[in-house]
């Protein structure tokens, strides 16, 4: 298995191995940690420890998802996330899994 075996092109739509989450608020603790979870199910979408981030030049706070945006996470590669422009909740949404 190669790293590309799990690759899905951006905008390819839901796959059996993807879950779409609703971005919740980002929480920063002591100016060092940043975490953002799904507003619906609580899944961690972002988790930063600034002390472990190495950036060339002037340090800038890492990005986060806009609250309420739909974020599709591809299983097998949790770092592969895409922000959807859709307004309706897609079939692979965590919110629909509970219904």
- Write the pLDDT tens digit of every residue in 37-54: 999 999 999 999 988 887
- Under 8 Å between Cβ of 71 and 40: no
Q: What distance in Å separates the CA atoms of residue 92 and residue 30, rounded to the nearest whole number? A: 35
Q: What is the mean pLDDT of the chain?
A: 81
Q: How confident is the model at residue 16 (pLDDT cuts 50, 70, 90)?
A: low
Q: How confident is the model at residue 2 (pLDDT cuts 50, 70, 90)?
A: very low
Q: What distance in Å separates the CA atoms of residue 88 and residue 61, rounded to the nearest whole number? A: 30
pLDDT of residue 9: 46
What average pLDDT does range 54-61 have in this prediction? 76
pLDDT of residue 15: 59
Structure tokens at 1: 């298995």
The beta strand positions in the chain, using DSSP E, are 18-29, 33-38, 44-49, 70-74, 81-84
Q: What distance in Å separates the CA atoms of residue 11 and residue 29, rounded to the nearest whole number? A: 33
Q: What distance in Å separates the CA atoms of residue 56 and residue 25, rounded to the nearest whole number? A: 27
Q: pTM above the 0.85 mark? A: no
Q: How confident is the model at residue 34 (pLDDT cuts 50, 70, 90)?
A: very high
């Amino acid at each position: 298995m190669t790293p590309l075996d799990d690759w899905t092109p951006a905008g390819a739509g839901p796959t059996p191995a993807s879950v779409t989450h609703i971005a919740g608020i980002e929480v920063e603790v002591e100016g060092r940690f940043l975490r953002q979870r799904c507003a619906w199910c609580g899944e961690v979408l972002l988790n930063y420890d600034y002390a472990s981030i190495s950036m060339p030049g002037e340090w800038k706070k890492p990005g986060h998802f806009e609250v309420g945006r739909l974020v599709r996470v591809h299983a097998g590669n949790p770092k592969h996330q895409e922000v959807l422009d859709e307004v309706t909740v897609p079939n692979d949404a965590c919110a629909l899994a509970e219904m």
